[in-house]
Structure 1
Amino acid sequence: MKPETTAIHASNLVKAVTGDVTSPIHLSTTYFRGEDGGYPGGHMYSRVSNPNRSALEKVITELEGGADTCAFSSGNTAGMAIFQALKPGSHIIAPDDMYWGFKKQLLTIFADTLSFDFVDLTEVDNVENYIKANTVLLWVETPSNPLLKICDIEVLGKIAKKHELIFAVDSTFASPILQNPIALGADIVMHSTTKYIGGHSDVLGGSLTFAAKNEFFDKIKNIQETGGAVPSPFDCFLLLRSIKTLAYRIKGHCENAEKLANYLNEHSKVEAVYYPGLPSHPQHEIVKKQMKGFGGMLSILTKGDADFARKVVNSVKVFSQATSLGGVESLIEHRASVEGPTSKTPQNLIRISVGLEHIDDLIADLEQALG
């Protein structure tokens, strides 16, 4: 099935006796045992599994073309499960502009047990210089947050395979509709399902989809089930509801973002626009090769300092000044303020999550804010 059809039908795991077309919410935390001590309904305790979570994991697996998926209570928890599953002393290669939440995890939670190098992964010829005897994980984020860098997944996958590294791709900015890293050589695809998969800024979640159910998958599954940082049945229900419209929402996000990027690219008070859909983007050709669209995220550098950038985000009327992305409403923020004093993000950078409002209203809002 095509992604639009998969998104609607792959989650229909449960055929309720009442004939529900949409799967109901299963709130029970425990399930009846059979006379033999087994679990005839397939579930024993909701920390381990739940019908709503099983449906969510199934549809994400099918959309990504993987073997199985583990759903978590947040994107940060999903990524952290990978770091937790590594043996102490392991070395990680990660992007130099890695999402600040994961970078903070490495620097403040795993600094005593893991080592890591933050590398510009767009320079693929330089990556092997950082591989050590104890390197076990190559972590890629594409498109990246907030600089919208694009990594060549296929090329990096070949490097990872050559050196027997676990190859994980944070594909949150792309969604399963625009990019399928497993088809390009990834072992694991990570999503903050809070973002485009949720799409309505009302549910927190994360997921890891695996190309194969191997020993490392078993470690992650154990962390998920034993640690218990799993989404609630209602969270899963909300995500399943949202996935049904994911393909069509993504089309709208991409269309609006491309028009907004072209407008901002010509604006007298904008120094630069970071958007993979612009022919001037340094990895534009790679994007066309590995993505089905250019996405709904962009960042701009204003012609001015941090004060001017903050003035812009404080002057919007239609955009919401808030931290997150992927929702139907357009969001805008001065990114360095969010990341704190150690941020390497330029002080004049504004990150924009382009929503589904009419593009003329979005352009008019930024025109008056920049003006």
Structure 2
Amino acid sequence: MNRKIYLDNAATTKVKKEVIEEMKSYFDEMYGNPSSGIYELGRRSKEAVENARKTVADFINADEKELYFTAGGSESDNWAIKGVAFANKDKGNHIITTKIEHHAVLHTCEYLEKFGFETTYLDVDEYGMIDLEQLKSSIKPETILISIMYANNEIGTIQPIEKIGEIAKEHNIIFHTDAVQALGAVRIDVKKQHIDLMSMSAHKLGGPKGIGGMYIRKGIKIDNLIHGGGQERGKRAGTEGVQNIVGFGKAVELASKNFEQYVSKLTETRNKLMEGIKNNIPDVVLNGHPTMRLPNNVNFSYQYVEGESILLLLDMDGIAASSGSACTSGSLDPSHVLLATGLDHGTAHGSIRFTISEETTDEDINFVIETMKNIIEKLRAISPLKKNM
């Protein structure tokens, strides 16, 4: 079978043709170092970097001087949390985050605990949503940072970011959000939503891998990430990857065009897949909020079967997806996100995440629904878990 259906866009997206075309000339024609600004090649590279910076900044309603380029989302998360913690340790040592953050946030907080910092990990409800009252009650005089992701990478739940920002502002606490999955999928306004720092990544919205960004609101006290040069206004040394920055800017430019129509189309396709699975396969659990979720995210747990087995059979039919179980990475534990929502280990192990793109067709959706129906029936027929029920 030649059919190939890629439904793992939360892991990475295909680089758009327009992005590739925009990047090409910065490999062998306009290859100058942006810091070599006296001659033409250097000036043109510098101009390209600053044009991309303005494009990304405008998209999130930030000033271009508040946008810094990084190597990606994980680097941005690390920088935001470590940078704020060490720069503000004279004010306090307490950080608030959630139990469903990306490991780039969770492991960074764990690292900081070795240096005397304290972290509160907020619970989430069955939909993966935080409780704003628990957030308020967790605030201490020593709290210096709140880091809560905009939208979850596994279950797609979108947090009440503006309300979180208001709480942080009211208590004079710095607010960071990991918006890696949200950029290009939801409308972000860092000013309106009272966001102080925000992590981004290009390869989640049709841009190249290895390039991301961090918004740092003017006036935020944060340690420099990399020492050694004057790039990124002295905060992150190292010669800029001009071609990747240009690609990031182009991807954001494309995302900004017909944005509402794009999100509406994704949502329509997502809902068709969600309804098709619910109506054709019994004993399934929708993971994440039913409506306050990313427009491209569909995550279900299929009872009595293992996610890894589903993935293998999907791959045989040319369908790429991902599992909420970490077994493929050598761990027997299911996703920390799914466990935090209250799922038992067995149900969490049977989860599959589909993340669609604008290229996903109705024909693709129909094929996936029918394929999943057949796969689940086949696996349940031989499942010892089903037999024991």
More relative contact order, 1 or 2 (CA 8 Å, 6+ apart): 2
- Cα distance in 2, alignment partners of residues 163 and 338 from structure 1: 42
Q: TM-score, normalised by structure 1?
A: 0.73
Task: Check whether the contact 1:72–1:231 (CA below 8 A) recurs between aligned residues.
Answer: no
Counterpart CA distance in 2 for 1:21 and 1:146 is 31
RMSD of aligned residue pairs (Cα, Å): 3.4
Contact 1:147 1:299 in 2 (8 A): yes
Counterpart secondary structure, 2:147: strand
Counterpart of 2:131?
123
Show the counterpart of 1:71.
Answer: 69
1:51 paired to 2:57: no
Cα distance between partner residues in 1 of 2:201 and 2:46: 20
SS in 2 for 1:173: coil
Question: Residue type matched to 1:348 in 2?
Answer: G
Q: Give unpaired runs (5+ residues) of structure 1.
A: 1-10, 12-19, 34-38, 288-292, 321-330
1:1-371 maps to which residues of 2 (within 5 A)? 24-25=25-26, 26-29=30-33, 31-32=35-36, 50-67=46-63, 68-88=66-86, 89=89, 90-107=93-110, 109-113=111-115, 114-120=117-123, 122-176=130-184, 178-182=186-190, 183-196=192-205, 198=207, 202-210=208-216, 212-216=217-221, 219=224, 225=234, 227-228=236-237, 232-247=241-256, 250-269=263-282, 271-274=284-287, 276=289, 281=290, 284=291, 287=292, 294-305=294-305, 307=306, 309-316=307-314, 317-320=317-320, 331-337=321-327, 340-341=331-332, 343-344=335-336, 345=338, 346-355=348-357, 356-371=359-374
Query: Is the 2:281–2:373 contact (alpha carbons within 8 Å) kept by the matching residues of 1?
Result: no
Displacement of 1:195 in angstroms is 0.7
Aligned residues: 315
Aligned equivalents of 1:230 and 1:76: distance in 2? 19
The structural deviation recorded for 1:300 is 1.0
CA deviations 1:28-61 (Å, max 9, x no partner) are 226556xxxxx698979x9xx9433322221111
Deviation, structure 1 residue 169:
1.9
Q: Structure 2: state its 5+ residue gaps.
A: 1-18, 125-129, 339-347, 375-389
Give the structure-2-normalised TM-score: 0.70
Query: Identity percentage over the alignment?
Result: 13
Relative to its length, the structure with more helix (as a share) is 2
